[in-house]
Structure 1
């Protein structure tokens, strides 16, 4: 007959099949059974001993946790975050197109590293989906990180080194002459936008959401307090991070162009938007794209995006010798990692640095030789003498 014997922690029951079942009462007070039965009683005892030690260390994990569908948890995860409409829309697409087909109907606790590796491998083989895989992987990892903190799963199965890194091509940095050629070529209504995007390091949403009261041309500053999200309809809200709310000092070079723009093209009143369409409507990227494409074609620039103006301006700022913190403040970045990408040098800047370095070394060498020769500079060996 089936029997049951008690021990100091848990109990072992002999089943009719002759196998042994180990049971224990967890920290939550519920009686729980081992996930499998045992062929030998000693094996059941060892399992209970390990479980007892796990509880004593504080490492006990509810085996019933994580019995939630990934899709349901992902939706709840998004609802609990203060996302901008643009970010929310991006996440919804990533979940619907890239994560749900594989993970949507899986329980959180059932997702393992093998599932994630296989999902990533298959998505990378799809030409249209390939560029979105790093974004989808980062989102999956973020959702499951929260599941770990919620103690729904013991560890995050997203453990693929470098899987969240996007292998994107280096964006072009325009010369100052190219920036002004674009400004000259585009419709006059948008000349100031090209210059402000570059020399103010502003994002598209910051330009589209800029009101007249935030542009102080006497002080040469532009203050970012609102951004426009163009997702379906246009909504103006706060920047998505505290770092995005900032004041940028502008160079005198573009102030006269901005004054001309405010006088001739901006919407009226302090709350009026600085950049609007010909009919006074709020600026939309879809409408602006034709004017941008025409201007690029007119000056012979291919593959240049509007965001490359900000990238260009950020690079200009980095080349002035500004510190990393100064660059972060100007660009509206909260992480050094994001700001560091703008601290590379263009080819002509690299040559200028090399030339300046060589000139400094030559001057110092000349002074040293003058000192060795008694300070009169006579008899100092020529540059060729040392060859």
Structure 2
């Protein structure tokens, strides 16, 4: 039993924690409570000893550990994927430590957390603040488990403080597109980059639902005749390093591919002849670009070739050996050079080992989908300047591009992002009435329900999905043929000619 100890001017309560170890009744901050009466001290000591026997006792002094000190040790103890560790570090350094770093864990109250959340919501998206509060809750829950605090002040109490009806803070719905939209965005991205890689990559993403890191990290050996194997991804961390790591949540899987998509991969590999990258020593299907594509770099040889309707070799001959080229062709090429403002070396782009997420989305995918380059200091948002011929146009580059342009692109799917193609793939499968088990397999999701455990994927299910994807692909080619029978993008031009012959 506990006992009261006379300290001259007050009484304090003492209780047994373990053999030879005694504690003193203290408040939440670890300060000794001074009792005026012996009886009060004895009752408080008995209550604390009862908690010890029930396994509910926590050392009051432990709560004096500061949030910053505990967070540092907590983060170091985590052993998670590189992407998760990076996210936790951002949440802590940018949003949680500035508010709570010097506060003792026991001093953090629910009202403090709610006040912080209101302040963050005034500056950031509600969905982001919800994620940061989730990290705070996880950290403080571990502090409870470690016996440093008795309750988690970041726990959300259900139904408290909610407005009736739907939340006014919902984010915008994810933009998706249709098969023709996938094709047109892929074509425009390829026109902006000046090569076929972006066309093949965008179509791959739209028809497999692969994550961005999985597309960037797709190694040649995993692109198989009837499927693609997802074994790795390349995740870009804040330092700029691309980390080769397992797919998100260990979602290793084999994604079935229609025959036409497999042929697209085979042709791409044969054209590009990929070699091992210097950073990982692995041979990846897709390459990056060496410089930022801001839309203001000079015109390239491929732009001139597309404008004149000739090969890049013919353009090179006009520039270096004009006597070897027919007069009519020389005139056409020189006119294209004048239209585009081409200068030697002005549009040279070295190949990089890999795409960068921000560069790809900002300067290739977003302008392809919306027809506008996004706002990027010091430049405001602006339409992509385009020379109208050949259709759907050749992007004008360099100084005076807007003055030389004939037109600009209309939006295909304004607001569409690379990840939106993953949503698009799921939406299209829903339209085919694809079994949920097969959809989860393709996307790398896990359904832990009993129904999912008792459902299995059959060959017929796979065949039906491949047939539906093929029908949509062919329909998109037919629709593109109706717009124009040719394309400045070589790989798409070949596909259009092949489709035209099949229809005839």
List gaps (5 residues or longer) in structure 2. Answer: 27-32, 162-166, 191-195, 290-350, 372-408, 450-504
Is 1:226 aligned to 2:226, yes or no? Answer: no
Give the equivalent residue in structure 1 for 2:365.
Answer: 292
Give the equivalent residue in structure 1 for 2:88.
Answer: 91
Query: Looking at both structures, which has the greater relative contact order when contacts are Cα pairs under 8 Å and sequence separation is at least 6?
Result: 2
How many residues are paired up? Answer: 325
Distance 1:82 1:155 in 2: 25
CA gap 1:332/1:48 in 2 versus in 1, 3 angstroms: same
CA gap 1:305/1:169 in 2 versus in 1, 3 angstroms: same
CA gap 1:68/1:281 in 2 versus in 1, 3 angstroms: same
Distance 1:333 1:160 in 2: 27
Give the equivalent residue in structure 1 for 2:3.
Answer: 11
Give the equivalent residue in structure 1 for 2:498.
Answer: none
Contact persistence 2:200–2:268 (CA under 8 A): yes
Q: How does 1:1-387 map to 2 (within 5 A)?
A: 9-17=1-9, 19-27=10-18, 29-35=20-26, 36-125=33-122, 127-128=123-124, 132-161=128-157, 167-187=170-190, 188-216=196-224, 218=225, 220-231=226-237, 232-239=239-246, 241-265=248-272, 267-268=274-275, 271-277=282-288, 279-289=351-361, 290-296=363-369, 297=371, 298=409, 300=411, 301-334=413-446
CA gap 1:240/1:271 in 2 versus in 1, 3 angstroms: closer
Contact persistence 1:83–1:240 (CA under 8 A): no
Contact persistence 2:219–2:284 (CA under 8 A): yes
Give the equivalent residue in structure 2 for 1:356.
Answer: none
SS at match of 1:248: strand
TM value normalised by structure 1? 0.76
Contact persistence 1:68–1:108 (CA under 8 A): yes
Distance 1:128 1:28 in 2: 53
Distance 2:247 2:106 in 1: 32
CA gap 1:242/1:56 in 2 versus in 1, 3 angstroms: same
Distance 1:277 1:33 in 2: 65
Distance 2:171 2:81 in 1: 24
Give the equivalent residue in structure 2 for 1:376.
Answer: none
SS at match of 1:233: coil
SS at match of 2:243: strand
